[in-house]
C-alpha cells in the first residue's frame, strides 16, 4: 500500500515538474521573440513640423478704424432734385371734357423728384468725383459733408462713356481723400464708403474679387474693379478705399437680381477716374479719338473665312458716313488686325486703342479684306458722346 502511494506521489511530482518546466521554456521563448521584434525597430529622426511664426497681438487684428477715419470725412452724400413736367391729359383739348373738369386740367403739371447718391472730395479746392448717373439731368445738387456742412454744387463736366462726373463746391478747409499709388491685386482688403438707401454714411468691407472687368455692358469704357464689399443703391459715386484709407476706385454698379447687394459690385479704378477728372477740369470734357465704325469680335468661323491662322482683330459691321474710317477707305466686312502696329485683340481693345489717340492725330491701320491684306491711315476726330466707336 505504501509502495502504491509512493509511486502515485512520484508520478504527480514528475507531472508538476514537467508542467513547470514547459511554462518556463514558453515564457523565455516568447520573451526572446519580443526582444527580437523590439531590437528590429529603431527610433526615427525628429519630425519637423511647420508652425506659424505669427504672434497673435492683444489688439483685434481686423480693425480698419484708422482707415475709415482717414477716408470717411472726404465721402459726401449727394441729393439731387429734378423738376418733372407731366404731359397734359390727352382729352384736355376736348371742349366737353374741359366743360366738366375746367380749363386748368389742360395745363402741364410740374413735380419735384429727389434722389440720393454719394461722392468723393478729391481736392481741397472743392472738386468732387461722382457718377454721371447720380447727377444726370439734375436741376439742383446739394452736397452734405460728414462734419455737418451743406453746400450747393455746380457741375464742372461729365463723361457718360465712363459714368463719371466732376462737381465743385465753394467751401473752405475741405477734407480731400488720399489717392493710392499702389497697384490693386485680387485678394486685397477694401472698404466701400457711401450712403446706401439714404440711411447715412455707411462702411462695408470685403476684398478685391477681380480686376480689369470689361464687356459687361454697363459703360462704353470699362475696366472695373470687382469687389464683394456690399454696395447698394445710394453707394453710387462713393469711395472704394484700401486698408489704409486711400482711394482706389469710385463705386458705380452692382450685379443683382433683387436690387440689393449680392456680393458682386463694381468700381471704376482710380487710374481711369483720375484721367477723366484731369481732362474735365482742364477742358470741360474728355478728349478721345473716334474712328467712326460699328464693330464686332472675330470668331473661328470668320477667321477661317479670311484664312487667318488665329482668331484676333475685329470685323467692321458699319461705317459712319464721312467719318475717319470712311475717308480712309475702310468698308463693312473688312477686318482690322492692327492699330499703330499693335495687334488688336477684340472690340474692347480696339475701342481703347483709338480712344487714347488725341483728336486730330493720325493712326495707321492694318487689316484684311476680300482682296487680301491692306494698310491705310486715318485721322481720328473727337468722339461724339455715347457712340459705339
Higher per-residue pLDDT: 258 or 170:
170
Is 174 among the domain residues? no
CA torsion angle for 182, 68, 158, 379 (degrees, to 10)? 0
Please give the average per-residue pLDDT across 58-65, as a whole number: 66
Q: Which of 236, 261, 334, 349 is catalytic?
A: 236
CATH number of the domain residue 329 falls in: 2.30.42.10
- The lowest-confidence range among 39-48, 105-114, 216-225, 350-359 is 39-48
Q: Which of 115, 118, 133, 228 is catalytic?
A: 133
Q: Does 257 have pLDDT greater than 90?
A: no
Q: What is the pLDDT of residues 65-96, one digit of tens each?
A: 999 999 999 999 999 998 877 666 565 666 66
Q: Does 126 have pLDDT greater than 70?
A: yes
Q: What is the pLDDT of residues 319-337, one digit of tens each?
A: 999 999 999 999 999 999 9
Q: Does 48 have pLDDT greater than 60?
A: no
Q: Which of 163, 180, 228, 334 is catalytic?
A: 163
Is 181 among the domain residues? no
Please give the average per-residue pLDDT across 342-371, as a whole number: 93
- The phi and psi torsions of 333 (rounded to 5 degrees) equal 100, -15
Is 257 among the domain residues? yes
Q: Does 387 have pLDDT greater than 50?
A: no
Is 271 among the domain residues? yes
Q: With bands split at pLDDT 50, 70 and 90, how would you rate the model's confidence at 24?
A: very low
**Length of the chain as a residue count:** 389
Question: Are residues 124 and 198 located together in one domain of the fold?
Answer: no
Is 29 among the domain residues? no
Q: What is the mean pLDDT of the chain?
A: 82
Please give the average per-residue pLDDT across 249-256, as a whole number: 86
> Cβ distance 169 to 128 under 8 Å?
yes
| Catalytic residue list contains 159 | no
Q: Give the model's pLDDT for residue 57.
A: 45
Domain span including residue 89: 67-103+110-168
Q: Does 229 have pLDDT greater than 50?
A: yes
Is 31 among the domain residues? no
| Catalytic residue list contains 188 | no
What is the C-alpha separation between 229 and 207, in angstroms, rounded? 7
Question: Are residues 157 and 193 located together in one domain of the fold?
Answer: no
CA torsion angle for 201, 206, 212, 215 (degrees, to 10)? -70
Residue 275 corresponds to which cell in the numbers above?
A: 484721367
Amino acid at each position: 500500500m505504501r509502495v502504491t502511494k509512493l509511486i502515485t506521489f512520484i508520478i504527480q511530482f514528475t507531472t508538476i515538474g514537467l508542467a513547470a518546466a514547459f511554462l518556463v521554456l514558453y515564457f523565455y521563448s516568447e520573451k526572446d521573440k519580443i526582444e527580437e521584434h523590439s531590437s528590429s525597430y529603431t527610433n526615427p529622426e525628429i519630425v519637423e513640423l511647420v508652425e506659424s511664426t505669427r504672434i497673435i497681438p492683444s489688439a483685434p487684428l481686423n480693425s480698419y478704424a484708422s482707415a475709415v477715419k482717414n477716408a470717411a470725412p472726404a465721402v459726401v452724400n449727394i441729393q439731387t432734385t429734378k423738376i418733372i413736367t407731366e404731359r397734359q391729359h390727352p382729352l384736355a383739348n376736348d371742349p366737353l371734357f374741359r366743360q366738366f373738369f375746367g380749363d386748368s386740367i389742360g395745363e402741364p403739371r410740374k413735380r419735384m423728384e429727389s434722389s440720393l447718391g454719394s461722392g468723393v472730395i478729391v481736392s481741397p479746392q472743392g472738386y468732387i468725383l461722382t457718377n454721371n448717373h447720380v447727377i444726370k439731368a439734375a436741376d439742383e445738387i446739394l452736397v452734405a459733408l460728414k462734419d455737418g456742412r451743406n453746400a450747393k454744387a455746380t457741375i464742372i463736366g461729365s463723361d457718360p462713356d465712363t459714368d463719371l462726373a466732376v462737381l465743385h463746391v465753394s467751401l473752405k478747409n475741405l477734407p480731400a481723400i488720399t489717392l493710392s499709388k499702389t497697384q490693386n491685386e485680387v485678394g486685397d482688403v477694401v472698404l466701400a464708403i457711401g450712403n446706401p438707401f439714404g440711411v447715412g454714411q455707411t462702411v462695408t468691407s470685403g476684398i478685391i474679387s477681380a480686376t480689369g472687368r470689361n464687356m459687361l455692358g454697363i459703360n462704353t469704357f470699362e475696366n472695373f474693379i470687382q469687389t464683394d464689399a456690399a454696395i447698394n443703391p445710394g453707394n453710387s459715386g462713393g469711395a472704394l478705399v484700401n486698408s489704409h484709407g486711400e482711394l482706389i476706385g469710385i463705386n458705380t454698379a452692382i450685379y443683382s437680381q433683387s436690387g440689393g447687394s449680392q456680393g458682386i459690385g463694381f468700381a471704376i479704378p482710380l487710374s481711369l477716374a483720375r484721367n477723366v477728372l484731369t481732362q474735365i477740369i482742364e477742358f470741360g470734357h474728355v478728349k478721345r479719338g473716334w474712328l467712326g465704325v460699328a464693330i464686332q469680335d472675330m470668331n473661328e468661323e470668320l477667321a477661317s473665312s479670311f484664312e487667318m491662322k488665329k482668331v484676333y482683330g475685329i470685323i467692321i459691321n458699319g461705317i459712319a458716313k464721312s467719318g475717319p474710317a470712311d475717308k480712309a477707305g475702310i468698308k463693312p466686312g473688312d477686318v482690322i488686325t492692327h492699330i499703330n502696329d499693335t495687334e488688336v485683340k477684340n472690340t474692347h481693345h480696339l475701342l481703347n486703342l483709338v480712344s487714347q489717340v488725341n483728336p486730330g492725330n493720325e493712326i495707321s491701320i492694318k487689316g484684311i479684306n476680300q482682296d487680301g491684306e491692306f494698310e491705310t491711315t486715318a485721322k481720328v476726330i473727337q468722339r461724339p458722346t455715347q457712340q459705339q466707336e
